[in-house]
A = this chain, B = another copy of it.
Amino acid sequence: MKGREKAIVVADIIDNIRRVFQAVNEYSKKAERETGLTGPQLWAIKVVAESGPLKVSELARRMYLHPATVVGVIDRLEGRGLVSRMRSREDRRVVKIELTEQGKTLIVNAPEVAQGLLVRGLETLEHEQLLRMSVDLERLVEILGAQELPPKLLLSSEINLPGRSVPK
């Protein structure tokens, strides 16, 4: 009767999932100490950096966050002079977020976010192992019933790294 073993393996898996959660959080806090920016702030400024001027709603969409949350983040980034708000002339409802010169200089020597670490680590794996892991994670997603969660967004924009290294 291998029910017992099974339970142990399940426990291991849950433990490791927890560790992944923890690690991502910890990593975000580490970046905080190095740049003076918090994780979300760094994330936001990176998205703006690589996708030009963005509407607030568009930025929120790319970060999977509520617009109301993003407004606060922008407030603080603007307070530090790293980004600036610009009302659009075609549609005066929208506000475009863009980097200031100060923001551009900061971005070049900002540390990687957790995703970067993850991407680089995964790239060192064999192709077969990658496929395996992809399948397994898909199964996990299936268990959680989260197949369609990010409704086919082009979230690749934040993670895709064409050839080799330097996702920065």
A residues within 8 Å of B by Cβ? 2-7, 9-24, 26-27, 64, 114-115, 117-119, 121-123, 125, 127, 129-134, 136-147, 149-150, 155-156, 159-164
Contact = CB atoms under 8 A, between A and B. Distances in A.
A127 B2 CA distance: 9
B24 A144 contact: yes
Contact of A122 (B18, B143, B145, B149): B143
B144 A16 contact: no
Contacts of A129: 136, 139
A127 B5 contact: yes
Given A11-B156, A15-B159, A20-B141, 10 more contacts: A3-B164, A7-B160, A12-B138, A17-B118, A19-B146, A19-B150, A22-B146, A114-B144, A125-B139, A133-B136
B13 A137 contact: yes
A12 B113 CA distance: 18
Interface of A (DSSP majority class): helix
B10 A155 contact: no
Contacts of A9: 127, 130-131, 134
19 contacts: A6-B123, A6-B127, A7-B161, A9-B127, A11-B156, A13-B137, A14-B115, A14-B159, A15-B155, A19-B150, A20-B141, A20-B144, A21-B21, A22-B64, A22-B150, A26-B149, A118-B143, A132-B132, A133-B140
Contacts of A64: 18, 22
A119 B19 contact: no
B22 A119 contact: no
